[in-house]
Structure 1
Amino acid sequence: TDDDLPPSHQNRLTRGPRASGNGPNGRAAIMGNLPYNRVQNDMESEIHWLEQEAYSSVLRAFKAQADVVTW
């Protein structure tokens, strides 16, 4: 069923500073944020992976419990 599927993260907005491009040559603001954006993206990917693992673990636990319990 749809309840067995991991939650959708399609509506998740990316947070963090946005480059305005108002630097001396228009690129300074963008280039200055690249390392920060990479770290932020890596962290968001890691959090997403951990959320998926936790969700899968909970589903496995419910399934294991349901297999043991007889109604």
Structure 2
Amino acid sequence: MTATFKNWHKSSYSGGSGEDCVEQGVDMAAGVVGIRDTKKGGVSPVLAFSSGQWSAFVADVKANDRLTGGHTA
């Protein structure tokens, strides 16, 4: 099955200069979340995650952010 991602939007954590941006899109029917490189847009390869995998990833990032006070190495 090929996912059809819609509603792409740039991450709020992407750099302000546009150099390090990623976008998230969803395929609600398939229950899949896609991540791609903003600079490449529609020709960018897409990393696809199930909605459960994506939710777990986001929860881990938020938990780490709370532990580090928003600072990363």
TM range (shorter): 0.3 to 0.5
| Structure having the larger proportion of residues in helix | 1
- The TM-score, its normalising length taken from structure 1, stands at 0.35
| Structure having the larger proportion of residues in strand | 2
Indicate the structure whose relative CO is greater, using CA pairs within 8 Å and at least 6 residues apart.
Answer: 1
